[in-house]
Amino acid sequence: DAGVIQSPRHEVTEMGQEVTLRCKPISGHNSLFWYRQTMMRGLELLIYFNNNVPIDDSGMPEDRFSAKMPNASFSTLKIQPSEPRDSAVYFCASRPGAGNSNQPQHFGDGTRLSIL
């Protein structure tokens, strides 16, 4: 059974460029999460979707960040324009069930983003 798949694994780009991170959740999982991990702040939830609908985007740091989930098998996190302080590892996770389900989240291996 394939896990959560993220691409690219590494991204290096210059400040001001648009960055698009991609995620394919585990088939049948209907909750999807985007996280950012930095040394200073640890792991933080940016946004999550339930049945392709954004439920809570309060963790999205600025309007430069946007996320979409056009269907149950694909999601994107976009940063436009990118800034050096956006450098971090971005994780996608998915989970079966919704609401009060106590199923754990399954994480992808992350995208290591470096903005020069």
Partner 1 sequence: KQEVTQIPAALSVPEGENLVLNCSFTDSAIYNLQWFRQDPGKGLTSLLLIQSSQREQTSGRLNASLDKSSGRSTLYIAASQPGDSATYLCAARIGSEKLVFGKGTKLTVNP
Q: List contacts with partner 1 (CB under 8 A).
A: 4, 31, 33, 42-45, 48, 50, 55-56, 91, 93, 99-100, 102, 104-110
Q: Is 78 helix (H, G, I), strand (E, B) or coil?
A: strand
Closest distance of CB 30 from partner 1, Å: 11
CB of 35 to partner 1, least distance (A): 8
Measured CA to CA, the distance from residue 36 to residue 27 in angstroms comes to 23
How many CB atoms sit inside 10 A of residue 58's CB?
A: 7
- Residue 97 and residue 31: Cα distance in Å, rounded? 7
Q: Which is nearer to partner 1, 65 or 91 (CB)?
A: 91
Q: Closest CB to partner 1 among 14 and 99?
A: 99
Q: State the nearest-atom distance from the C-beta of 13 to partner 1, in Å.
A: 20
Tokens matching residue 103: 């199923």
